[in-house]
């Protein structure tokens, strides 16, 4: 196998950035260059005061140690491609918005453009690695493009190496991954390329955690893993509705079922609905794949995971309105948290966006606070959620605050949308003193101690618990 000395990563986003920064940290003998067309993003990665474009605990430390040593960020895509032995393609693969498969299929335009660029620029052999999450058999299309456009004598090996990091814990996940998955063609060249990449990871990942499989299995495993994780959340959220109607407590139910070692305790936390850039997109992708393969029953099965998630968000908004005496018109609702989960500034598919939109259509006044999400991002998301409403009109109904205490001032209700630890620790006595009475708390994340809040005087509604015990 080729010993990898130079790596290029195309795409300096949530995956390419942290993943290749960690490779650089752990492999000081490999030069890693992360490139992107987005100059502002690259400038932020290079910023002297480490104001990186994404917030991720531990990331700044990694970049501080490796940047300038063997880790570089650049907009010179061609140069980095030309010099590298191994190229990660880590560009975005969002759900298609128009055309065939709109609303379901992955938009592979960015993957294709990056692949074409590699073919055009490369003048020596390269190992090309799909890092982006892609539908099963995308590697075949990449190979066709590469082979049809390459310079004579240039050989490409294609690997699939999906990324399993979760935002908010990306650095820990990369330092100690449950597994690294590498898929290759089972030809001598494919297996040799696979060994080259496995060697890179073996600098810090134990051998038994590096799984090597066929290309198509690798691609499908990524979609399957996300679909099954999301399925657990939709399952527990479906049960939370039964709990609310019966008097069972979802915390106790999840605890009890999670004790079964065959089920396990993780990813059973009921919530206001899962968000993030991956789950919905990847399941819809799987649904589309199933439909294209003429497997409508399989498609319907996975589609239900997303439908249950939509239902969970709608159900939560409705519960807020119902509890506030069937109207929130003109009432101030404080929304705590805007990111799709704690410890990230990422808002893609965040449940908070849907909730705020629902509150807007009920003509409530909303004040939002999130410790990490930039204000501009919140405005952009709310504008995208209501494209027909002018931003000025949105700004009359929604304000963004700089602290939880400020957001809750004069509110009728507090809605916890993200499980930021600081929301557990706010001075709830002070919050109560400054709210209209009765003061309501809606915990969409099973975050706060409901009994403690009730003692202060709050009326507390929690996901997965019946209202009449609140």
Q: Binding site for NAD(+), residues?
A: 11-16, 36, 41, 91-95, 132-133, 167, 278-281, 348
By beta-carbon proximity to ligand UDX, the closer residue of 331 and 341 is 341
Q: Pick from 289, 369, 363, 372: which is nearest to 332 by CA?
A: 363
| 434 CB burial (10 A radius; 0-12, 13-18, 19+) | middle
By beta-carbon proximity to ligand UDX, the closer residue of 66 and 278 is 278
What binding mask, one character per residue, do residues 262-291 give for ligand NAD by CB under 6 A, x or -? ---------------xx-------------
Buried/exposed code over 277-310 (b: 16+ C-beta within 10 A; e: otherwise): bbbbbbbbbbbbbbbeeeeeeebeebbbbbebbe
With CB under 5 to 8 Å by kind, the binding choice for 77 among ligand NAD, ligand UDX, none is ligand NAD
Catalytic residues: 278
The one among 158, 180, 233, 353 contacting ligand UDX by CB under 6 A:
233
Q: Pick from 193, 211, 190, 217: which is nearest to 136 by CA?
A: 217
Q: Which residues are annotated as a binding site?
A: 11-16, 36, 41, 91-95, 132-133, 167, 278-281, 348
User: How does strand 86-89 pair with strand 126-130?
Assistant: parallel
The one among 16, 135, 276, 464 contacting ligand UDX by CB under 6 A:
276
In the sheet where 365-369 sits, what is the strand order? 398-400, 365-369, 332-336, 413-416, 440-443, 459-462
The C-alpha atoms of residue 366 and residue 407 are separated, in whole angstroms, by 9
The one among 9, 165, 378, 401 contacting ligand NAD by CB under 6 A:
165
The one among 267, 311, 379, 432 contacting ligand UDX by CB under 6 A:
267
Beta bridge mates, 33: 8, 72
At its nearest, how many Å lie between ligand NAD and the CB of residue 121? 11
> Under the criterion CB under 6 A, does residue 274 sit at the interface with ligand UDX?
yes
The C-alpha atoms of residue 122 and residue 197 are separated, in whole angstroms, by 19
With CB under 5 to 8 Å by kind, the binding choice for 354 among ligand UDX, ligand NAD, none is none
Give the count of alpha carbons within 13 A of 110, CB side only: 20
By beta-carbon proximity to ligand UDX, the closer residue of 30 and 210 is 210
Buried/exposed code over 23-38 (b: 16+ C-beta within 10 A; e: otherwise): bbbbbeebbbbbbbbe
Segment near ligand UDX (CB under 6 A); pick from 44-52, 111-119, 261-269, 322-330? 261-269
Residue nearest to ligand NAD (CB): 13
Segment near ligand UDX (CB under 6 A); pick from 63-71, 188-196, 274-282, 357-365? 274-282
Quickly tell me which residue has 């679909």 as its tokens.
227
With CB under 5 to 8 Å by kind, the binding choice for 269 among ligand NAD, ligand UDX, none is ligand UDX
At its nearest, how many Å lie between ligand UDX and the CB of residue 267? 4
With CB under 5 to 8 Å by kind, the binding choice for 114 among ligand NAD, ligand UDX, none is ligand NAD
> Under the criterion CB under 6 A, does residue 371 sit at the interface with ligand UDX?
no
With CB under 5 to 8 Å by kind, the binding choice for 229 among ligand NAD, ligand UDX, none is ligand UDX
The one among 129, 229, 306, 328 contacting ligand UDX by CB under 6 A:
229
The C-alpha atoms of residue 56 and residue 167 are separated, in whole angstroms, by 7
- By CB under 6 A, what part of segment 150-169 binds ligand UDX? 163-167
By beta-carbon proximity to ligand NAD, the closer residue of 219 and 443 is 219
**Total residues at interface with ligand UDX (CB under 6 A):** 19
Q: Pick from 467, 124, 97: which is nearest to 316 by CA?
A: 467
By beta-carbon proximity to ligand NAD, the closer residue of 180 and 321 is 180
The one among 93, 196, 271, 360 contacting ligand UDX by CB under 6 A:
271
Segment near ligand UDX (CB under 6 A); pick from 267-275, 287-295, 357-365, 391-399? 267-275
Segment near ligand NAD (CB under 6 A); pick from 64-72, 87-95, 120-128, 315-323? 87-95
By beta-carbon proximity to ligand UDX, the closer residue of 158 and 278 is 278
Q: Which residues here bind ligand NAD, judged by CB under 6 A?
A: 10-16, 35-38, 41, 77, 90-93, 110, 113-114, 132-133, 163, 165, 167, 277-278
Q: Which residues here bind ligand UDX, judged by CB under 6 A?
A: 163-167, 226, 229, 233, 267-269, 271, 274-276, 278-279, 340-341
């Amino acid at each position: 196998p080729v010993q990898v000395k130079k790596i290029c990563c195309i795409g300096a986003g949530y995956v390419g950035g942290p993943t290749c920064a960690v490779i650089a940290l752990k492999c000081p003998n490999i030069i890693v260059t992360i490139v992107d067309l987005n100059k502002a993003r690259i400038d932020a990665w290079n910023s002297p005061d480490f104001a990186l474009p994404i917030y991720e605990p531990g990331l700044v430390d990694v970049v501080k140690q490796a940047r300038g040593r063997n880790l570089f960020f650049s907009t010179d895509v061609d140069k980095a491609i030309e010099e590298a032995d191994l190229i990660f393609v880590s560009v975005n693969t969002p759900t298609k918005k128009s055309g065939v498969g709109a609303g379901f299929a992955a938009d592979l335009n960015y993957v294709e453009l990056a692949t074409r660029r590699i073919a055009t620029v490369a003048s020596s052999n390269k190992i090309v690695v799909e890092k982006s999450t892609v539908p099963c058999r995308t590697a075949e299309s990449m190979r066709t493009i590469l082979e049809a456009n390459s310079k004579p004598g240039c050989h490409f090996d294609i690997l699939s190496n999906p990324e399993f990091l979760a935002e908010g814990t990306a650095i820990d996940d990369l330092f100690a991954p449950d597994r690294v998955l590498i898929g290759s063609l089972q030809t001598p060249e494919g297996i040799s390329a696979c060994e080259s990449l496995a060697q890179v990871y073996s600098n810090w990942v134990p051998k038994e955690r590096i799984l090597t499989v066929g290309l198509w299995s690798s691609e499908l495993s990524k979609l399957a893993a996300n679909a099954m994780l999301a399925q657990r959340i939709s399952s527990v959220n479906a049960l939370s509705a039964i709990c609310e109607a019966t008097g069972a407590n979802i915390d106790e139910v999840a605890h009890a079922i999670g004790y079964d070692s065959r089920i396990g305790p993780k990813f059973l936390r009921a919530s206001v609905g899962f968000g993030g850039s991956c789950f919905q997109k990847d399941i819809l992708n799987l649904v589309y794949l199933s439909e294209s393969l003429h497997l409508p029953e399989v498609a319907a099965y996975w589609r239900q995971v997303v439908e249950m998630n939509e239902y969970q968000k709608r159900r939560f908004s409705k519960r807020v309105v119902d509890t506030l005496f069937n109207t929130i018109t003109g009432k101030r609702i404080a929304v705590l948290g805007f990111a799709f989960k704690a410890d990230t500034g990422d808002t893609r598919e965040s449940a908070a966006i849907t909730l705020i939109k629902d509150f807007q259509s009920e003509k409530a006044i909303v004040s939002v606070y999130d410790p990490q999400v930039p204000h501009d991002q919140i405005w952009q998301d709310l504008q995208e959620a209501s494209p027909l409403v002018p931003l000025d009109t949105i700004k009359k109904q929604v304000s963004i605050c700089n602290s939880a205490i400020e957001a809750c001032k004069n509110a009728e209700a507090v809605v916890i949308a993200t499980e930021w630890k600081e929301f557990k620790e706010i001075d709830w006595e002070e919050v109560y003193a400054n709210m209209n009475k009765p003061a309501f708390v809606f915990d969409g994340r099973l975050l706060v101690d409901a009994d403690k809040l009730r003692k202060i005087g709050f009326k507390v509604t929690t996901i997965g618990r019946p209202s009449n015990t609140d």
